[in-house]
Structures are given as C-alpha cells and as structure tokens.
Amino acid sequence: MKLNVKAFALTCGIVWGVGLFALTWWIIAFDGVTHEVTLIGRLYRGYSISPLGSLLGLVWGFFDALVGGAIFAWLYNLIAARCRQREE
C-alpha cells in the first residue's frame, strides 16, 4: 500500500495543531492562564499556556507535524517499494 504524502502530511498537521490548541484551552479552563515555560514552549518559540500561546502552538504544531508527516510518508513509501521489489 502506498501513502499519499500530501494527504498524510496535511492530516498530521491538522491533528497535532488542533490537538495542541485544544489541550492548551483545556489547561486554561481548569488551571487558568500561566505564562510558565513548558517543555513544548522550549520547542515552539512563543508558546505558553495563554490564549495567544494556544494560537502560536496551533501554527507551530501544524507546520511541525506537516513536515514530520511528509517525511514519514515519503520514507514509508520508499521502504515499502524496496520491500515489494525484494518479494518479486
């Protein structure tokens, strides 16, 4: 089976970006706004547990997972094609 690289990358980007956005608002709802630097905040510049941080996390997460998903799907297709050649 071959993965569609663009579709897989876009799906990964949307899921991770929206997931990080929703998680941030979940934390805001129960613990309130904190501007503490989190582990994700160290990876994604400007991210914090705040409304603005949730938007920055959405953007950073989308592009991070978009690139990661594209690389994963491309490598999967490459390895799957080589495995199919060996079987023939």
At a CB cut-off of 8 Å and minimum separation 6, what does 19 contact?
61
Q: What angle do CA 14, 4, 40 make, to 5 degrees?
A: 30
Quick one: pLDDT band at residue 34, thresholds 50, 70, 90?
A: confident
Residue 88 has pLDDT above 90, yes or no: no
Residue 76 has pLDDT above 80, yes or no: yes
Quick one: pLDDT band at residue 35, thresholds 50, 70, 90?
A: confident
- Looking at residue 1, what is its pLDDT? 85
Q: For the segment 19-29, what is each residue's pLDDT rounded down to a tens digit?
A: 999 999 999 99
